[in-house]
Amino acid sequence: MEKVVINTSGVTSQILVGKSWETVDEMLPGSGTIIITDENVFDIYGNKFPRLPVLKIKPGEESKRLEVIERLAGQLLETGTDRTGFLLAIGGGVVCDVAGFLASVYMRGIRFGYVSSSLLSQVDASTGGKNAVNLGETKNVIGTFSQPDFVICDTKMLLTLPDMEYLSGLAELIKTGIIGDRSIFEITEQNITAIINRESGLLSDLVTRSVRFKAKVVSEDEKESGLRRILNFGHTLGHAVEMHGSLKHGFAVAQGMKFAADFSVEKGFIGKDERDRIIGLLQRFSLLGGKPVPAERVEQYMLHDKKRSGSDIHFIFIEEIGKALIRKLPILEVIEFYRHNTTGK
């Protein structure tokens, strides 16, 4: 088991990779714990949950809404949960976001922990202390920064994950390799079959590397005023693609990463060989494809992006595999390159 510790605003959070999730009760307070999960995860793992009250949400993004938070808060009140209560999320990024947000506002904040059950949440969503719900079409617009006491990432749980969800998480893992840890990129490149077979030892190693990198970034910049922006690599276009079509997050981010790699070549930051290596790896896992989003739609989205500043955006480029570069650019320059790159106009 590997342990990664994050210190932010005087709070310590530990991420345990390779610990069996079935030992989670060792981490819980003696009383007052309530489990939050979704129906899919409950159907597969519910019979092995610790014997504690369970609140269930519907699987998927539709549960990241304030009405769901309100309903769950009501259920917490009914169970008599007070400020000494503890929320244990068992699930993917949606369950962790919902439980983390609920815990950080219920009675002005109670303690919480995660058993992170999807690859996307293990490599990304459950590290960093961000948790949020959506408002209408706008993702993650109501949220807080608040760290769980612990996160358990048991890669054996990934064996039951549907293929598309697994591949979607893999895109975020590759992203971490591209922006900050070349070894993740290279190990992935060299172990395609083992990764497709979801070998848990190898996955634990990759998840640990990814968590270590994210923990380092988040410890330096908890509230995303500088360095943390590099985690948005591929997300500027990725979010537009995700909002426009019905692509899963990681597939949309993969398209965004291809675009950012092309843009990095255009700017002279990387050579074509590095770009081709990135695209090659994304293709090995069938992460690229789908119709391009019209440039007008991309522009509309970027103008509403909560990460823009005025008419500029912090765009994340790369200067080599394993090293990101932040540049502030006019949104129109990004759109212009997108138009040219995707339609040749």
Ligand X SMILES: NC(=O)c1ccc[n+]([C@@H]2O[C@H](COP(=O)([O-])OP(=O)(O)OC[C@H]3O[C@@H](n4cnc5c(N)ncnc54)[C@H](O)[C@@H]3O)[C@@H](O)[C@H]2O)c1
Distances (CA, A) of 162 to 117, 132, 159, 198: 12, 24, 8, 12
Cβ partners under 8 Å of residue 342, min gap 6: 292, 295
Question: How far apart (Å, rounded) are the C-alpha atoms in residues 212 and 215?
Answer: 5
Is residue 68 within the footprint of ligand X (CB under 6 A)?
no
Strands 312-320 and 323-330: antiparallel
H/E segment holding residue 175:
helix 163-179
Tell me the window of 8-16, 33-41, 180-188, 261-269 that interacts with ligand X (CB under 6 A). 33-41
The answer to whether 262 contacts ligand X (rule: CB under 6 A) is: no
* One residue of 93, 113, 148, 256 binding ligand X per CB under 6 A: 93
Determine, following the binding rule CB under 6 A, whether residue 121 of this chain makes contact with ligand X.
yes
Q: Strands 11-17 and 111-116: what pairing?
A: unpaired
Q: Per CB under 6 A, which region of 4-12, 38-46, 76-84, 297-305 contacts ligand X?
A: 38-46
Instruction: Indicate the residue among 124 and 274 with the shorter CB distance to ligand X.
Output: 124
Strands (E), the chain: 2-8, 11-17, 33-38, 54-57, 86-91, 111-116, 130-135, 138-145, 150-153, 308-309, 312-320, 323-330
44 touches ligand X by CB under 6 A: yes
Is 148 among the residues that bind ligand X (CB under 6 A)?
no
Note whether 104 binds ligand X by CB under 6 A.
no
- Give the pair of three-digit tokens for residue 16: 């345990």
Q: What are phi and psi of 113, to 5 degrees?
A: -150, 165
Q: Near ligand X by CB under 6 A, which window of 24-32, 119-127, 187-195, 294-302?
A: 119-127
Q: Which is nearer to ligand X, 43 or 296 (CB)?
A: 43
Question: For residue 300, what is the enclosing H or E element?
Answer: helix 295-304
Closest CA to 112 of 90, 141, 79: 90
Nearer to ligand X, 76 or 253 (CB): 253
Q: Which C-beta is closer to ligand X: that of 4 or that of 295?
A: 4
- # of chain residues touching ligand X (CB under 6 A): 31
Q: Which of 57, 94, 115, 237 binds ligand X (CB under 6 A)?
A: 94
Is 161 an interacting residue with respect to ligand X (CB under 6 A)? Answer: yes
Q: Does 38 bind ligand X (CB under 6 A)?
A: yes
Question: Least distance (Å) from ligand X to the CB of residue 111?
Answer: 18
Of these, 11, 50, 105, 140, which contacts ligand X (CB under 6 A)?
Answer: 140
Is residue 102 within 8 A of residue 137, CB to CB? The reply is no
Residues near ligand X, by CB under 6 A:
38, 40-41, 44, 59-61, 64, 91-95, 97, 117-118, 120-121, 124-125, 128, 130-131, 139-140, 157, 160-161, 165, 168, 249
